[in-house]
A and B are shown apart, each in its own frame.
Chain A
Amino acid sequence: MQRTFLALFALTLGGCASLHHVQIGEIDNRTPLTSFEVAVSETTVSLDDVKQVSSVLMNDKSSRQTNDALSFIQLFQMGYSTGTPVYNHTYVDHLRDKLFEACPSGQITGLTMIRETREYPVIKGEIVKIKGYCRKKG
Chain B
Amino acid sequence: MKALLPIALLLLSGCTTLRSVSLTSVPAQRTQRIQAEREKFIFMGFNFENDHVSDVAADLRRQCPQGMISGVLTKHETVNYFLYIFWKQRVTSEAFCSGKAAANNSRPRKPSSDDAPEDEGDVL
Give residues in A with beta carbon < 8 Å to B.
11, 14-30, 33, 110, 112, 114, 116, 131
Complex alpha-carbon distance, A22 and B72, angstroms: 12
Closest to B70 in A: A26
Q: Are A29 and B66 in contact (CB under 8 A)?
A: yes
Select A29's contact among B22, B68, B76, beta carbons within 8 Å.
Answer: B68
Q: A19-B76, A110-B61 are in contact. Are A24 and B56 (CB under 8 A)?
A: yes
Q: Are B53 and A16 in contact (CB under 8 A)?
A: no
Select B50's contact among A17, A27, A29, A30, beta carbons within 8 Å.
Answer: A17
Q: Are B48 and A26 in contact (CB under 8 A)?
A: no
Q: Are A27 and B69 in contact (CB under 8 A)?
A: yes
Complex alpha-carbon distance, A15 and B50, angstroms: 12
Q: Report the minimal beta-carbon distance from B22 to chain A, rounded to whole angstroms.
A: 4
Q: Which of B5-13, B93-101, B107-115 contacts A (4 or more CB under 8 A)?
A: B93-101
Complex alpha-carbon distance, A14 and B61, angstroms: 32
Contact residues, B8-22 vs A (CB, 8 A): 19-20, 22
Selected A-B contacts with CB under 8 Å, 24 pairs: A11-B46, A15-B48, A16-B46, A16-B48, A18-B47, A19-B47, A19-B50, A19-B76, A20-B20, A21-B19, A21-B20, A23-B20, A24-B93, A25-B24, A25-B72, A26-B25, A26-B72, A27-B57, A29-B65, A29-B68, A29-B101, A30-B100, A110-B57, A110-B69
Q: Are A27 and B61 in contact (CB under 8 A)?
A: yes
Give residues in B with beta carbon < 8 Å to A.
19-20, 22, 24-25, 45-50, 53-54, 56-57, 60-61, 64-70, 72, 74, 76, 89, 91, 93, 99-101
Q: Are B101 and A112 in contact (CB under 8 A)?
A: no
Q: What does DSSP make chain A's interface, helix, strand, loop or mixed?
A: strand
Complex alpha-carbon distance, A28 and B82, angstroms: 42
Closest to A112 in B: B57
Closest to A37 in B: B54
Q: Are B69 and A17 in contact (CB under 8 A)?
A: no
Complex alpha-carbon distance, A107 and B87, angstroms: 38
- Chain A residues lying within 8 Å of B54, measured Cβ to Cβ, are 112, 114, 131
